[in-house]
Amino acid sequence: MSRIIKSLLVLSLTTGFIACSSDDNSSSDGDNNTGGNETENVERYVIAASSLEHEGVADYLLTVEDIESGSVNLSNNGIEQDGAYRYYLTTKNKFYSLLYGQGNPGAVTVYTLNNKGKLVKGNDFVTETVQVYGAMNNDFVMWKVPRSGVEIAPWYIVNTDSDHIVSQGIINTVELANNGERAHFSGLTQIGNKLLAPYFSMRGISGDVWGTSFANTAWVAVYDYPSMNLDKVITSDKSSYIGAYFKNGLFQDEKGDGYAFSSANVLGGKGELISTNPSGILKIDGKTLEFDDKYFWDIEKATSGYFVSGLVYAGKGKFIARLENDKLNNSSNVIKYASLDVYTKTYKWIEGLPETIKDLGFSDKSNLSLMDGKTVYVGVTTDQGSFVYKMDAETATATKGIKLEGGTITAISKLSSK
């Protein structure tokens, strides 16, 4: 399972998506003076980017008014983050920067936007380094998931009003799996008033940490919130586990149902493919919180051999998907992007992306979706530089936007001053 570990490193390095404007080129740490008209609402895009000049250092956060045109230079701009690896969450109009501290504690820094369009640094707090995080009601939840050694997965609830940890607890991953292996969470999603946490089963023992005897099952743990008491575990044998290491694969639509992707690309200890079910989209009924046995979209069959390796929800049942055609990840692997409509089970290949892409930051939290049924902004890096591309899920097109000079775009978000 070395490819899963590699995916974490790539995602950790590509977790921020940064942009900058000429009227906001300096760090605004401690700038709490909003000034101007207190009733005015200002909106800015927040882009996190890594520097080309200083490799191996933390991302920089910048702000821009427009990401669909123009350019911005990373040099002498933005707010430098502490630590080499950062990942981000925007919820309740706040921007949370989380440090991935490897085996060390991970600091969390909170930013808001003032009505001058500048990021204002708020509270700092320290937790364990976490691998799973997501919004729930007025909170966000963080989860540390062990790969080996201890069986306990600590969780933390952060209130977004106070920006403090208000509750914490532990989950025994061996007891949850209940099959002799460990439950390893890939993400968390709110559906109704419950927290749903997809997980995959892994042995977690020396020499075979990522190995499993259960490659053809999808699991989701359903928790009451905020008590975090386990309500039930639901399963499906139509594909394989949901999401991936550090990649949430479950999304709630506007109707209250859940849609999830499975790559079904589980490898054995010798690099052989051990999952035999097809990659596809599964559905969870929002009323019963059970897998819908009548729904499964076999993506491999629909696309003549491609499997889903990532999704971003665009709203109204439409997703932007990353698709690959070689589950063994050989040099011949072809990566494509498509618009998927899970209601009609139809897809269109995205047109307009550059032919040669060095990196395309693609996960549920490293891109910005306007949730309008079509618009998703992603960072695309080529030999010509790093750009924001606007992907349209309705027309299946990609349009080049702002260029980042001197850095690589890793994530993007949007904030308003109110």
Strands 194-202 and 218-224, how do they pair? antiparallel
Answer yes or no: are the C-beta atoms of 398 and 314 closer than 8 Å: no
Query: For the chain, how big is the Rg over CA atoms in Å?
Result: 21
pLDDT band at 359 (very low <50, low <70, confident <90, very high): confident
Q: What is the pLDDT of residues 287-296, one digit of tens each?
A: 999 999 999 9
**What is the C-alpha to C-alpha distance for residues 26 and 279, in angstroms, rounded to an integer?**
46
Query: Which of 325-329, 353-357, 363-367 shows the lowest per-residue confidence on average (mean pLDDT)?
Result: 363-367
Judged against a pLDDT cut of 80, whether residue 12 lies above it is answered with no
Q: Is the peptide bond before 226 cis (omega within 30 degrees of 0)?
A: yes
Mean pLDDT, residues 398-412 taken together: 93
pLDDT band at 6 (very low <50, low <70, confident <90, very high): very low
Coil, strand or helix at 88: strand
Judged against a pLDDT cut of 90, whether residue 302 lies above it is answered with yes
Write down all domains in the chain, each with its CATH number in brackets: 2-416 (2.130.10.10)
More confident residue, 330 or 266: 266
Mean pLDDT, residues 256-280 taken together: 95
Mean pLDDT, residues 94-102 taken together: 82
Coil, strand or helix at 2: helix
Mean pLDDT, residues 391-406 taken together: 96
Q: What is the pLDDT of residue 7?
A: 38
Q: Which residue's entry shows tokens 């709203």?
A: 315
Work out the mean pLDDT of the chain and round it to a whole number: 87
Q: What is the pTM of this model?
A: 0.88
Q: Collect contacts of 299-302 with beta carbons under 8 A, ≥24 apart.
A: 299/261, 299/323, 299/340, 300/264, 302/345, 302/347
pLDDT band at 33 (very low <50, low <70, confident <90, very high): very low
Structure tokens at 120: 């204002």
Mean pLDDT, residues 182-194 taken together: 95
Q: What is the pLDDT of residue 15?
A: 35
Does an H or E element contain 48, and which? strand 43-51
pLDDT band at 104 (very low <50, low <70, confident <90, very high): low
pLDDT band at 128 (very low <50, low <70, confident <90, very high): confident
Which amino acid belongs to residue 12? Answer: S
**What is the C-alpha to C-alpha distance for residues 6 and 179, in angstroms, rounded to an integer?**
27
Q: What is the pLDDT of residue 19?
A: 34
Mean pLDDT, residues 209-222 taken together: 94
**What is the C-alpha to C-alpha distance for residues 116 and 136, in angstroms, rounded to an integer?**
29
Q: Of 118, 115, 127, 107, nearest to 78 (Cα)?
A: 118
Q: What is the pLDDT of residues 159-176, one digit of tens each?
A: 999 999 999 999 999 999
**What is the C-alpha to C-alpha distance for residues 131 and 395, in angstroms, rounded to an integer?**
34
- CA atoms within 13 A of residue 66's CA, in its CB half-sphere: 7
- Please report, to the nearest 10 degrees, the dihedral formed by the alpha carbons of residues 344, 347, 352, 357 taken in order: 130
